Amino acid sequence: MRSKQVSIIISVAAILIIAFALVSGTQFIDRMSKKNLSGKNISKFIKPELPDFAYKTVRVEDAYTFAVNNQDQVMYISCYCGCAGMQHTDSLIQHRSLKDCYLKPDGSYEPHASNCRLCNDITLEAKDLLMKGISLKEVRKIIDDKYSGRGVGTNTSLPS
């Protein structure tokens, strides 16, 4: 009888310990999603709801996720795919920054980047650089230096 009570107490204690560990782990991940280890505000764990076209490949999904979660940074990165004045299906798109490749001015999703490898290349490179703790100004310079010869760039304001 006594050994049965001990077994029940141990089982309850184990369940409580596991529950506590799961809750603590979730809170830790939530805190980490707000900033990376270098202290920069880079959201890398938050998965927004994306439209179907953003799931074309894992790479496209990663670029959309980063752009959506870090709009305040990608708005200062130029795009060099020609989207600053590109005929896209039946309309002319006039993007002002890399942000516009992913999001329309009204906040809805822009499908352009789901079919543009260069938009994704620039976005994911900017993500990697920012995750390393490189300043937004320096990231902008690196992107401009590397991609400016690829095509007409967007008229993007410089970060302060």
pLDDT tens-place string over residues 37-69: 344 555 555 788 999 999 999 999 999 999 999
For all residues of the chain together, what is the average pLDDT?
A: 81
Rounded CA gap, 151 and 127, in Å?
21
What pLDDT is stored for residue 28 in this prediction? Answer: 43
Q: Number of folded domains in the chain?
A: 2
Using a cut of 0.85, tell me whether the model's pTM lies above it. Answer: no
Say if residue 145's pLDDT is above 50. Answer: yes
In a domain, residue 133? The reply is yes
Range of the domain at 89: 52-147
What pLDDT is stored for residue 135 in this prediction? Answer: 96
- Would you state the torsion angle of the CA atoms of residues 128, 134, 136, 142, taken in this order, to the nearest 10 degrees? -70
Q: Same domain, yes or no, for 13 and 62?
A: no
In a domain, residue 39? The reply is no
The answer to whether 52 and 120 have CB atoms below 8 angstroms apart is no
In a domain, residue 24? The reply is yes
In a domain, residue 158? The reply is no
Say if residue 77's pLDDT is above 80. Answer: yes
List 93's β-bridge partners, or say none: 86
Q: Same domain, yes or no, for 57 and 30?
A: no
Q: Same domain, yes or no, for 91 and 24?
A: no
Say if residue 76's pLDDT is above 90. Answer: yes
